[in-house]
Amino acid sequence: MSDTQTNLEEQLAHLTRTVDDLSDIVARQEGEIAKLTRRLEMVMQRTAERELAEGGSIPLADQRPPHW
């Protein structure tokens, strides 16, 4: 095997490992984002319910800003 071929195989192995590592990171972040999105939706729902229970007619999150 030539030095060039060996060097290319080493680079390919390194790049393959890097892609696998990045794929794992992206998959983990996708799960974290989904979990945080669900939590945020729950917080928004609870806040809207609390605002309605306190006598508000429209939850603030659903109101248009005054400049509209």
Q: Dihedral, CA atoms, 8, 13, 19, 25, nearest 10 degrees?
A: -150
Q: Tell me the per-residue pLDDT of 6-24, one tens digit each, with 9 for 90 and over.
A: 999 999 999 999 999 999 9
pLDDT at residue 61 tops 80 = no
Closest listed residue to residue 37, CA positions, set 45, 47, 26, 25:
45
Q: What is the pLDDT of residue 54?
A: 82
DSSP label at residue 2: -
Q: What is the pLDDT of residue 51?
A: 81
Q: Tell me the per-residue pLDDT of 23-58, one tens digit each, with 9 for 90 and over.
A: 999 999 999 999 999 999 999 999 888 888 887 665
